[in-house]
A and B are shown apart, each in its own frame.
Chain A
Amino acid sequence: MSELPLLLLAMIAVVNPAAVALAASVEAAPALEQRRWLALPALALAVALVAAAALLHERWLDALDVSAASFEAAAGFVLLAAALVTLVRGRAVEAGLLATRSPRGYAAALAFPVSAGPAVLVAAIAYAERGGAGATLAAAAVALVLAALASAAAPLPLPARSALWLGVAARTLAALLAVLAVGLIVDGLRAV
């Protein structure tokens, strides 16, 4: 598989739009209509955060005083932790943060950490280092758009069948993320 589709798959797996949809469809979250217009500022903020991670990847490594290879292995461990939580619980660790009626609080939490959380930012730095910042940012933007659409479209209450399918999709993406995370760890440990 060439670099860009792999990057897209990786960013979709780490953002996990299915898990975002599940998080957004809690009873305590804003109503569907409100969530639709809140998705846009949340998306803008999330893309800005990922852009800061991806475009400044070298500066992040310098600031942390780590080599790209060590960071890659570390990123793998972070992604693996995030993936395992979603695999076990069926929801991301941040899912409960969208249970708020406050529009600002909801939009902010949807941006960070629900869509562009630590795992996504760490992944953006690691993939920008190996695949280039532009391609990483493009792939992450697509994944974040999918997450924003998922959060805006998730009905409330979520029908049981939809919840089941979203849960399966979230776990499938988490499993894929776990595989990619192990790949990052191995690559990081084997790199010069």
Chain B
Amino acid sequence: MIALRTVLVVAGFWLVVLGATRVLIAPSESCGDSSVPHVRQAAASAARWLERAARPGGSYLYGYDIEADRVSSDYNEVRHAGVTLALYQAAGRLGDAGALAAADAGVEWMAQRLERRNGWATLPTPDGRRAKLGTGGLAVVALAERRTATGDPRYDELMREMGAFLAAMQRPDGGFHAIWLFDADTVDPGVTSKFYPGEALWALALLHEAFPGEGWDERALDAARYLIEQRDEDEDIPFPPLPDHWLAYGLAEMSEWAPPPDEAFVRALAGRFGLLIRTEAQEGGLRPVLGKPTRLSGGSVGVLVEGLSALWRLAAADPRLADMRPQIEERLGCGAAILARRQAGVAQAAASAQPALVEGAWFHEAETRMDDQQHAFSALLYAGDALEGRAHREPDAKLPAPRTRGVR
């Protein structure tokens, strides 16, 4: 007979090892319905929320607390530009004239606040003393998305002016200063940003596609090189690469004319997005142990799915990365399903004080913010594309642009 103690020791050892591994490392992953129609429906619902968030004067509803029934009085010009670009994506891809009108009003709101210096234009902070690189980057992206959706060149000159601000903020090493100080008429040399440079990169890539031959590609290449090779070190990213969805958008945009030189970096970046989506599907694991929330906000999940969707387009365009597509599609299906599952639906909206501010939104600890819907919408739109095998972002048909004057 085997000694009972020996059996108990062996059984106990494996129970502890397998149990701890199951609970902490590999809890069950729950995604949801990742069918394309379901994902498309969730995207459309988010786009409708963004349209309803449009306020008279061109601003947007910033945030809403569903439990307190309180609308936020905060505002942020970077997020304003971000919501505007998402509305233009909705206009182009969903053929949604309402989204186009809301976004055009958002551009007018920005245009009324533009500051021009030294041949460039940008949107300052509300106090008028600073300008953020991120605002300029996303505003250019928004205008480029409008151009793609409508074919209307009315904002071309403004795109160039705002692009010139990005150029003025670029350092010789390809990186960027984050803040312009209007009083000192120069950059703030001590401030950098983790995510603004990626936004600037995407903007520069889109500027090159809109205006080839004007040198925007050289700036985009310098920026991409910096972001791939140096940024994580400069920003002390503890576990590189930084999951920067803007960089992924930029690299995907550049894939036709400048495939990424570092294939390993793209794989590592895709792996980082994938890991974070898997962790989100687990809703537990090590997160509570590390004192982190068990669930991310809609915007935070959205950026992961956006980033991975962009890398899917890159993998579709670059034969060196083609082998990644099936794994990316599997993970995107999960990420999109999580977003769709957590979106507030008709029933939750009906039970709330303000159904129009609830339906189609993502609430995290009872609050939603406009960039939750912005990122989640873009994520669902492009994840749906990947699941359908649609490798181009552009709309199939142009939307007629309203007959109004361009901004000068």
Contact = CB atoms under 8 A, between A and B. Distances in A.
A189 B282 CA distance: 14
Majority secondary structure of chain A interface residues (helix, strand, loop or mixed):
helix
B268 A102 contact: no
A78 interface: yes
Interface in B196-244: none
Interface residues of A, number: 31
Contact of A99 (B3, B18, B334): B3
A54 B278 CA distance: 23
A94 B141 CA distance: 61
A127 interface: no
A1 interface: no
Interface string B262-305: 00000110110111001001100000000000000000000000
A69 B275 CA distance: 8
Interface string A64-103: 1111011101100110011001000000011011011110
Given A81-B17, A100-B2, A192-B270, A70 B328 contact: no
A130 to B, nearest CB: 11
B10 interface: yes
B7 to A, nearest CB: 7
Contacts of B17: 77-78, 81-82, 118
Given A69-B275, A93-B13, A99 B6 contact: yes
A191 interface: yes
B81 to A, nearest CB: 30
A109 interface: yes
A131 interface: no
B325 to A, nearest CB: 10
Contact of A71 (B26, B267, B270, B330): B26
A70 B26 contact: yes
B29 A67 contact: yes
Centre residue among A113, A118, A192 by max chain B CB count within 10 A? A192
B191 interface: no
Contact of B3 (A77, A96, A102): A96
28 contacts: A64-B28, A65-B29, A65-B30, A66-B28, A67-B29, A69-B275, A69-B327, A70-B29, A71-B26, A73-B26, A77-B25, A78-B18, A78-B21, A96-B2, A100-B1, A100-B2, A101-B1, A105-B2, A109-B2, A113-B14, A118-B14, A191-B327, A192-B270, A192-B273, A192-B274, A192-B327, A192-B328, A192-B331
Interface of B: 1-3, 6-7, 9-10, 13-14, 17-18, 21-22, 25-30, 267-268, 270-271, 273-275, 278, 281-282, 308, 324, 327-328, 330-331, 334
